[in-house]
C-alpha cells in the first residue's frame, strides 16, 4: 500500500472519532491546549501502530486506549488545573485583584459539541471537570471511560493494562471523591427543569443588565452566596455585596457587549470590552445556575485567544 493510501485509510478510520477524542482529552486535562497536544500525540501513536491494529476489534476502543494513555502521560508532566476558588484568594472589592497568574494551571472553557449526548454534555460541566482534576490520573480515566463514555469494566481494564477488580475499586473511590466536589443536580438537569422559555428570558435579562452597566440588575440575578472569578486573575469574590462593590470598579467600569454561546454544557457568553474605540475580545463568561434560576457562579475566563474555538470574532464593529 502506498503512503497516500495509508494516509487515506488512517483518516477514514480516525475521522468519525476525532471530535469525541478531543473532548475526552479535554476531560482528562481540563485544558483545550493540552487536549490539542494529547490528541496530536495520540494520533501519531495510532498512525505508527496502524499496521498492528489491522481492523482487529473496535477502532473506537483502540483509539480511546491510545488517547487515554497519551493524556495520562501528559498530565504526569504538567501541573494540575484548577479554578481560582481552589488556587487564588478571596478578593477585597475595593482593592487590587492582583497580577494574573500566567502559569498553565487554569481550567479552560470548552465549546459545546452540538452532537454530544446528554451524558457527554454533563461530562464537560465546569464543576465536574474541576473535580476530576483532584483525582489521580488512573481514577480520572476510569471514571470518564465508565461513567461518561459507557465502556465496560473489562474494556477499561484492557485500556489501562490492569484488572477488572482494580477498575471497580478505582471507580468506587473516584465516584466518592467527585461527589464531594460537585452539586447534587447537574447543569443539564437544571437547564432541562427550567425550560427553554425561562432560560431565554434569563439570558436576555443578564445580557441587558451587563450591556447597560446595571450593577443592581446583575446582582439581582445572583444567589446570595454566588461566586465571581476571572482567571488568570487569582482574586475571586463571594456574595452579592462584595460582588456589587467590585463590579463598578472592575468589569462594569468599561462598556461591554455579550454574545451568547454554549460552553461546558452551560450558558455562556463571549464578552467584548471597549478598547480604543473598538469592542475587543475579552472573556468567555460561563454561568452556573441553581434550580431556582439564580446564578450560583460566574467565571469570566480572560482568554481572548479562546474566541476562535467558539466561532467568535476578535472584535465587534
pLDDT in tens, 58-92: 899 999 999 999 999 999 999 999 999 888 788 88
Cell of 159: 485500556
**What pLDDT is attached to residue 2?**
54
Average pLDDT over residues 206-210: 98
Give me the residue label for grid cell 483532584. 134
Query: In this model, does residue 142 exceed pLDDT 70?
Result: yes
**What pLDDT is attached to residue 89?**
80
* Parallel, antiparallel or unpaired: strands 256-263 and 235-238: unpaired
What are the angstrom distances between the C-alpha of 258 and each of 198, 254, 309?
19, 13, 17
Q: What percent of the chain has pLDDT over 90?
A: 79
Measured N-to-C along each axis, helices 153-160 and 59-77 cross at an angle, to the nearest 10 degrees, of 50
**What pLDDT is attached to residue 3?**
56
Query: In this model, does residue 286 exceed pLDDT 90?
Result: yes
Query: In this model, does residue 143 exceed pLDDT 80?
Result: yes
Query: In this model, does residue 125 exceed pLDDT 90?
Result: yes
Average pLDDT over residues 102-130: 89
- Let me know: does 229 contact 84? Beta carbons within 8 Å: yes
* Parallel, antiparallel or unpaired: strands 89-90 and 256-263: unpaired
Give me the residue label for grid cell 450558558. 267
Task: List pLDDT tens digits, range 149-161.
Answer: 999 999 999 999 9
* Global pTM value: 0.93
Query: In this model, does residue 10 exceed pLDDT 90?
Result: no
- Let me know: does 236 contact 84? Beta carbons within 8 Å: yes
**What pLDDT is attached to residue 241?**
96
- Sorted by sequence, the CB contacts under 8 Å of residue 89 that are 6+ apart come out as 98, 234, 235, 236
Confidence of residue 98 (pLDDT cuts 50, 70, 90): low
- In this structure, the number of other CB atoms found within 10 A of the CB of residue 281 comes to 24
Average pLDDT value for the chain: 92
Question: Mean pLDDT lowest for which of 67-76, 99-108, 120-129, 215-224?
Answer: 99-108
Cell of 303: 482568554
**Number of helical H runs and strand E runs in the chain:** 15, 8
Confidence of residue 55 (pLDDT cuts 50, 70, 90): low
- Domains of the chain in sequence order: 1-79 (1.10.1740.10), 126-183 (1.10.10.10), 187-316 (3.10.450.50)
Residue 89 β-bridge partners: 235
Amino acid at each position: 500500500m502506498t503512503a497516500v493510501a495509508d494516509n487515506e485509510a488512517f483518516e477514514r478510520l480516525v475521522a468519525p472519532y476525532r471530535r469525541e477524542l478531543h473532548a475526552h482529552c479535554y476531560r482528562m486535562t481540563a485544558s483545550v491546549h493540552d487536549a490539542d497536544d494529547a490528541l496530536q500525540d495520540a494520533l501519531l501513536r495510532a498512525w505508527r501502530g496502524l499496521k498492528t491494529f489491522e481492523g482487529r476489534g473496535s477502532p473506537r476502543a483502540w483509539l480511546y486506549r491510545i488517547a487515554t494513555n497519551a493524556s495520562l502521560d501528559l498530565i504526569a508532566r504538567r501541573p494540575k488545573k484548577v479554578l481560582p476558588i481552589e488556587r487564588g484568594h478571596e478578593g477585597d472589592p475595593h482593592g487590587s485583584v492582583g497580577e494574573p497568574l500566567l502559569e498553565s494551571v487554569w481550567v479552560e472553557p470548552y465549546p459545546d459539541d452540538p452532537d454530544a449526548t446528554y451524558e457527554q454534555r454533563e461530562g464537560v460541566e465546569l464543576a465536574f471537570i474541576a473535580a476530576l482534576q483532584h483525582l489521580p490520573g488512573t481514577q480520572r480515566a476510569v471514571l470518564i471511560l465508565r461513567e461518561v463514555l459507557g465502556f465496560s469494566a473489562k474494556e477499561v481494564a484492557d485500556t489501562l493494562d490492569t484488572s477488572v477488580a482494580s477498575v471497580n475499586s478505582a471507580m468506587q473511590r473516584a465516584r466518592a471523591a467527585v461527589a464531594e466536589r460537585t452539586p447534587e443536580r447537574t447543569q443539564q438537569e437544571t437547564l432541562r427543569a427550567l425550560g427553554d422559555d425561562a432560560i431565554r428570558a434569563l439570558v436576555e435579562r443578564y445580557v441587558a443588565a451587563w450591556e447597560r452597566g446595571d450593577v443592581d440588575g446583575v446582582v439581582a440575578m445572583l444567589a446570595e452566596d454566588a461566586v465571581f472569578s476571572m482567571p488568570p486573575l487569582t482574586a475571586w469574590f463571594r456574595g452579592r455585596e462584595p460582588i456589587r462593590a467590585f463590579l463598578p470598579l472592575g468589569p462594569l467600569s468599561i462598556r461591554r457587549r455579550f454574545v451568547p454561546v454554549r460552553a461546558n454544557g452551560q450558558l455562556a457568553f463571549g464578552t467584548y470590552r471597549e478598547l480604543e474605540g473598538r469592542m475587543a475580545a475579552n472573556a468567555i463568561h460561563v454561568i452556573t445556575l441553581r434550580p431556582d434560576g439564580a446564578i450560583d457562579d460566574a467565571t469570566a475566563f480572560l482568554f481572548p485567544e479562546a474566541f476562535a474555538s467558539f466561532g467568535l470574532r476578535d472584535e465587534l464593529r
